[in-house]
Structure 1
Amino acid sequence: MEYTRLGESGLVVSKLCLGTMNMGSPEWKPWIFDEKQSEPIIKHALDNGVNFIDLADFYSAGAGETVVGNVIKRIANRDELVILTKAGYPIGNGKNNSGHSRKHLMDAIHGSLTRIGSDYVDIFMLHYFDINTPVEETCHTLNEIVRSGKARYIGLSTMYTWQMAKILHTCDKHGWVKPINMQLQLNCAYREEEREMIPFCQDQGIGVSVFSPLARGLLSGAFDSVRNQTDFFTHQMYGDQTSKDIAMSVAKVAKRHGVSSAQIAQAWVLNRPGVDVMLVGADTTAQFDSALMALKTKLSDDDLYEIERCYTPCDIINDYTDGKRIPRDARPAKD
Structure 2
Amino acid sequence: MISVPRWLLMALAAMFSGYHVVLGIYSLATDVPATPWPVVVALVLYVVATVLSLWPGRRARMPDWLAALDLAVGIVLPLLVTSQLDPARDNGYATWYVAAVGTLMTIAAARRQLVVAWVGVIVLAVQTVAWAGPLALGALGVVGSVVWVAIAHMLSAALAGAARATRRYAQAEREAAAWQAAQDAHLFEGRMRLAQTQRLASPMLRRVASGGMLTDAERAECRTLEAAIRDEIRGRMLLTDAVRAAVRHARERGATVTLLDEGGIDDLDEAERDRILSQLADAVEGTGADRIIARTAAEGSPVAVTVVGLSGGAGEVVESEDAEVALWLEIPRAG
More strand by share: 1
Q: Shorter-chain-normalised TM-score: which range?
A: under 0.3
Q: Compute the TM-score of the two structures, normalised by the length of structure 2.
A: 0.19
More helix by share: 2
Q: Compute the TM-score of the two structures, normalised by the length of structure 1.
A: 0.19
Q: Pick the structure with greater CA Rg.
A: 2
